[in-house]
Amino acid sequence: MASAASPRAQAETIPLLMNADDVPPGVPPATFNPEKNPDDWTTGDEAMTGPQRSYLQTLCREAGEEFDENLTKAEASKKIDELRQKTGRGGSGAGKG
């Protein structure tokens, strides 16, 4: 009787569908994984996640704002976006001048 391949061996034989080099030039990554509006999240009314809480506490401290521990996932996501811009962590460098 033949022995079955281990899960790791099986995983190593499955080809990847796409890697970063396969993305056509000029196509923004969001095209492949668009962000959903937090207002449309099915779990947006749940309590914020641990990572959201930690990051938001850091951003609030840097921005000189009070941390609200009662935000939902969706509210925390919006506040993180707002504070990233305010503190200059928003990727575009906006917020600090």
The series of mean pLDDT values per 10 residues for the chain, 97 residues long, is 56 56 60 69 86 94 95 94 89 46
What pLDDT shows up at residue 17? 59
CA distances from 28 to 20, 52, 84, 86, 95 (A): 11, 25, 21, 24, 24
What pLDDT shows up at residue 96? 42
